[in-house]
Copies of this chain bind each other. A is one copy, B any other.
Amino acid sequence: MFRRLLNFEEAQQVIQKYFKSKPLGVEEISLLEAHNRVLAQDITASLDIPPFNRSTVDGYALNAEDTFAAEENKPVKLKIRGITCVGERPKVKIRRGMATEIMTGAPIPEGADAVVPLEQTEKRNSSLYVYTAVTKDENVMKAGADIKKGETVLKLGKLLGSREIGVLAALGLAKVKVYKTPKVAVLSTGAEITEPGKKLLPGKIYDINTYSLSTAVLESGGKPVYMGIYPDDKVALQKALEDALAMTDMIITSGGVSVGPKDVIPQILNSLGKPGIIVCGIATKPGKPTTAALINGKPVFSLPGHPTSALLIFHLLVRPVILSMVGRNAEGGLTVKAFSATRIFPAKGRRTFVMVRLSRDKMNRLIAEPVESGLSGAITTLAKADGFFEIAENQQFIEEGEEVTVRLFSFPDFPSLQPNTL
Which A residues form the contact surface with B (CB < 8 A)? 31-32, 35, 47, 49-52, 56, 58, 85-90, 103-107, 141, 145-147, 153-154, 159-175, 190-198, 200-216, 218-219, 224, 226, 231, 259-260, 307, 311, 331-332, 334-337, 374-380, 382-383, 385, 409-413, 415, 417-419, 421-422
Contacts and interface: CB of A to CB of B under 8 A. Distances in A.
Taken together, the copies of this chain in the complex come to 2
A90 B203 contact: yes
Given A31-B211, A212-B169, A203 B89 contact: yes
10 contacts: A32-B211, A56-B374, A141-B375, A147-B380, A162-B213, A162-B410, A167-B382, A169-B207, A174-B196, A336-B422
Contacts of A197: 172-175
> Shortest 4 CB-CB distances between A and B: which pairs?
A174-B197, A166-B212, A87-B191, A87-B192
A191 B212 CA distance: 49
A177 to B, nearest CB: 14
A192 B86 contact: yes
Contact of A170 (B86, B165, B208, B219): B208
Contacts of A382: 163, 166-167, 170
A161 B58 contact: no
A32 B421 contact: no
Nearest to A405: B419
A107 B202 contact: yes
Contacts of A224: 32
Nearest to A314: B162
A409 B259 contact: no
Contacts of A413: 161, 163
A219 B161 contact: yes
Given A307-B166, A379-B147, A383-B164, A260 B90 contact: no
Contacts of A191: 85-88
Contacts of A103: 259-260
A385 to B, nearest CB: 7
Contacts of A201: 89
A231 B87 CA distance: 9
A317 to B, nearest CB: 16
B141 A334 contact: no
Contact of A169 (B208, B259, B380): B208
Given A50-B205, A141-B376, 16 more contacts: A49-B205, A87-B203, A88-B203, A90-B203, A104-B375, A105-B190, A105-B375, A106-B192, A146-B379, A153-B379, A161-B410, A163-B382, A165-B211, A169-B207, A170-B382, A171-B206
